[in-house]
Structure 1
Amino acid sequence: MQVQFNTRIILPSVYRSEKDGKPKAYLSTTVFSPQKYNLTPTAGVMPVEQIQAVLEQCADNAQEVEIQFVEQQTKFGTQMQIFQC
């Protein structure tokens, strides 16, 4: 089975909070019309922690980043599972 990734340049945004005394970061981006997508770093080409750190840094510095992702619909809306950035 072969998986094909989509590629897109995005401008991520980050919302930070604490849950049970642990810091938590929620990532998202707005694309096209505008439509908001939740971003989920997923193990693949890069480690999850590295993807998370790159997206958070780009969000903090208002920098665009190119990602490779798969799109899926969840109960919380459309989500991009990111495998590389």
Structure 2
Amino acid sequence: MQVQFNTRTILPMVYRTDKDGVTKAYLSTTVFSPQKFNLTPMAGMMPIEQIQAVLEECADNAQEVEIQFVEAQTKFGAQMQIFGVKPLPKKDLTQPQKP
């Protein structure tokens, strides 16, 4: 069986809660319309813990990432199930953009 993944560049956001001494991180992103998607790391090309850590770090640093994902609709709304991530270099906004 072959699975086809989509690729998209996103800016992840992280919301952390601390309950009973356990810290939980919720990941999301907003794309196009704007439409908000919940992000769910899934086992695949990278370990779940590594995907979670990369997304959290990029969210903290306002850094874009390229993701490999599939879209799903859950009872909590639209979701991107992420199987791989690649942080992109931060853009230097002080330099003129090349055409």
The normalised TM-score by structure 1 is 0.97
Provide the residue aligned with 1:39 in structure 2.
Answer: 39
Q: Do residues 15 (structure 1) and 15 (structure 2) align?
A: yes
Q: Do residues 81 (structure 1) and 57 (structure 2) align?
A: no
Letter in 1 for 2:83: F
User: For the pair shown, which has the larger CA radius of gyration, 1 or 2?
Assistant: 2
Provide the residue aligned with 1:57 in structure 2.
Answer: 57
State the 4+ residue runs in structure 1 displaced beyond 4 angstroms: none
- Separation in 2, partners of 1:32, 1:16: 25
| Long gaps (5+) in structure 1 | none
| Long gaps (5+) in structure 2 | 86-99
- Separation in 1, partners of 2:4, 2:48: 19
Letter in 2 for 1:4: Q
- Separation in 2, partners of 1:24, 1:46: 20
Percent identical among aligned pairs is 82
The normalised TM-score by structure 2 is 0.84
- Separation in 2, partners of 1:20, 1:38: 24
> Quick one: higher RCO (CA 8 Å, sep 6+), 1 or 2?
1
Query: Greater strand percent: which structure?
Result: 1
